[in-house]
Chains A and B, each alone.
Chain A
Amino acid sequence: MTNAPTEAIDVARQQPYPGAPDNWKRFFTFSTDHKVIGIQYIVTAFVFFLIGGLLSMIMRGELVTPEANLVDRTIYNALFTMHGSIMLFLWTFPVLVGISNYLVPLMIGARDMAFPRLNAVSFWLIPVVGILMLASFLVPGGPSQSGWWAYPPVSLQNPTGNLINGQVLWILAIAISGVSSIMGGVNFVTTIFRMRAPGMTWFRTPAFVWSVLAAQLIQLYGLPALTAGAVMLLLDLTVGTSFFAPERGGNPVLYQHFFWFYSHPAVYVMVLPVFGIFSEVFPVYARKPLFGYRVVAVSSVLITVVSATVWVHHMFASGTPGWMRMLFMFTTMLVAVPTGVKVFAWVATIWGGKLRLNTAMLFAMGGLVNFVFAGITGVMLGSVPIDIHVNNTYFVVAHFHYVIYGAIVFGIYAGLYHWFPKMTGRMYYEGLGKVHFALTLAGTWLCFLPMHFSGLMGMPRRVSSYDPEFALWNVLASLGGFLLGMSTLPFILNMVSSWIQGEKAPNNPWKAIGLEWLTTSPPPVENFEEIPTVISPPYGYGRNEPLIENQSEAVPADGVTT
């Protein structure tokens, strides 16, 4: 036999998929390679991150002074609605799906996701969602003004009388994003259940994969409830049914139940993958096994279950009867248990470790601190007597931005830095990364800490003008906001220039343990020359045991390279 066929296979392997363009252009094609799709998700989401950020800059600009003098009130309402919606549905969800898409098949030793074409369709729906959201700036009446939660009766108002209005476009966008997410959920769950490499039992599966599984299960049980609510809202808005319209006998609080039954667990859809990133990053840079790996893994699934039982804590002030408040206060506090277990495990992992403080580790540690802080205010909000007072004030805004910016965005950055060499085959500039970290940390605290104080003093959220007694806190928050806006610049600069001309990355620059580090950087099409057989649990730092059969080099206990 000649060598020709193998050569052809080699050539094919270097392409993202057979017959595909072999350069950056492939990111603009309907690729079915989970790695290409992952990067497509990440980059698209980042574009929306910048757009959503721009909207928040205008809001913070408005809030520098107590009077409303930059934008008028309707525009301000549209701004916070679109800011929140874009940040959640077009940045946080997609970027995490992108990271998961890239990593899960690599981490479990699969050649691709279970349904590659479905995967591509899931991605290409995201730009459609984005176009619909942004198109609402162009329709008469402008974008929806009812906030990202779209409570009726506010969301049922349609002053222009047009059938195509900002609210309708918003609902359609959410529906399409839901379709994309459900298809993604089916894909992830099937992939993780059925495509793990030989030998990879559940307790040899990386914590990140566990947390993605947990997050995607939430999509599957939660999103349908939101869909049901959205369909009814859309019918109320367009054909005049009366499900949620109080003046026609409808019950607007029922909408809140549909909405929060999904949207509370949704915060775990966002934060669980970030927990997964923490669990991967800490052991590598502390050179220690993940403390309590099995407990960490199982606690993700516990969070999935418990978070289905807490949604009414968003409705303590919606006329909810006392017994229900007590019940849901209890379940809310219960989520703190599996979450606290994780925090404990991470701290114990870092404790006494030989820390390497490069950018990924800094972001993970910063994210952990922010998350603990957000957790404290979260427990405060979960207790009925406190929530009754600070509900709908800036205290809430402060809390969820500590979660979303402080923990989730930090975690996303940690993950992007950590796997950047794997994804691009290049190293990033560590110095620039540290500048990025410092600016982001300072910006987060300066922007969101003051909101706790203005909130406790009673400043309502979603207002474009406010009592001058809150002025100091708002000026500080705005300064922090602008700092955060600026903080993304070194990141973009770093990523773009490193990708183009960074130093070539070795296969395993951090001397990490995990299947994804055993293939080339970037990995070939279909990921592995040969599917590895796993023979030990992950995170064997310092134990000197091989992860897979016939491993060529075991990872040293203190594989310090930088």
Chain B
Amino acid sequence: MTTESSIAQSREADIREEQAHEAAENSKFGFIVFLLSETVIFLSFFAGYIVYKTTIPDWYPPGVSGLDTKDPQFNTIILVSSSFVIYVAERYLHDKKLWGFRFFLLATMAMGGYFLYGQAIEWSNLSFGFTSGIFGGLFYLLTGFHGLHVFTGILLQTIMLGRSFIPGNYDSGYFGVEATSLFWHFVDVIWIILYVLIYVWQ
């Protein structure tokens, strides 16, 4: 190989790295735009909830006087703290400490899984259903739609965990992990609003 062509090659490698960097930045930008748009879906549901709640006189289905907040409260604490855990995972990845990353990612998944489990228990204990008036519909719609997002988040985390076992996969960049973590924070923030709307404001 002549020097000339090896210089050309290394320049080409530079360009390629530059392009990969650009692409990752674009993806991050695009993902944030997407999340903003998703936020509007939730805001629309919330707006609907507020309108109904303030205009319908007998809000709860017959025989229901309100929601029990003890277990959901604990669930909320778990979910919100998992946001910090996934942040720690990301820091470990940043420092190229793969095992730490895996450990804390797994912990996040466990906490998310616990949240879903808690929600399932709560649902099965409720005395009203999806079709029990507007409140029933909205309750299951909102918590269910949010739960679907938690589930998606766990799915993404599983993929990111699996990818960490591919040698060199996270060497040059880890947009996927950043996106997953961003999504998780998003799911958390939405839950806090939802919790206030449904459980606190009774």
Contacts and interface: CB of A to CB of B under 8 A. Distances in A.
Interface string B8-25: 100000000000001001
A137 interface: no
A264 to B, nearest CB: 15
B33 A228 contact: no
B29 A224 contact: no
B26 interface: yes
A190 B141 contact: no
Given A194-B29, A251-B55, A227 B41 contact: yes
Contacts of A254: 48, 51-52
B30 A187 contact: yes
Contact of B48 (A1, A220, A249, A258): A258
A250 B44 CA distance: 17
Contact of A228 (B25, B44, B137): B44
B80 to A, nearest CB: 24
Per DSSP, chain B at the interface is helix
Given A194-B22, A221-B40, 5 more contacts: A228-B48, A242-B134, A242-B137, A243-B48, A258-B48
A114 interface: yes
Interface range on chain B (Cβ under 8 Å from partner): 35 or more
A37 B30 CA distance: 20
Interface of A: 1, 114-115, 182, 185-187, 189-190, 193-195, 220-221, 223-225, 227-229, 231-232, 235, 239-243, 248-251, 254, 258, 261
Interface in B22-72: 22, 25-27, 29-30, 33-34, 36-41, 43-45, 48, 51-52, 55-56
Interface of B: 2, 4-5, 8, 22, 25-27, 29-30, 33-34, 36-41, 43-45, 48, 51-52, 55-56, 130-131, 133-134, 136-138, 141, 145
A65 B51 CA distance: 46
Given A224-B38, A228-B44, A186 B133 contact: no
A249 B134 contact: yes
Given A115-B26, A241-B137, A249-B56, A186 B130 contact: no
21 contacts: A1-B4, A114-B30, A186-B37, A190-B30, A190-B33, A195-B26, A221-B37, A224-B40, A225-B40, A227-B41, A228-B48, A229-B44, A235-B130, A239-B131, A242-B133, A242-B137, A243-B48, A243-B134, A251-B52, A251-B55, A254-B51
A260 B26 CA distance: 32
A251 B47 CA distance: 13
Contact of B29 (A185, A190, A227): A190
B45 A228 contact: yes
A306 B137 CA distance: 33
A220 B166 CA distance: 35
A132 to B, nearest CB: 21
Contacts of B37: 182, 185-186, 220-221, 223-224
A445 B27 CA distance: 47
A220 to B, nearest CB: 4
A239 B29 contact: no
A227 B141 CA distance: 13
Contacts of B55: 251
A225 to B, nearest CB: 4
A182 B37 CA distance: 8
A246 to B, nearest CB: 12
Contacts of B52: 251, 254
Contacts of A231: 141, 145
A241 B30 contact: no
A281 B178 CA distance: 43
Nearest to B38: A224
A500 B4 CA distance: 46
A285 B134 CA distance: 58
Contacts of A193: 29
Contacts of B34: 182, 186
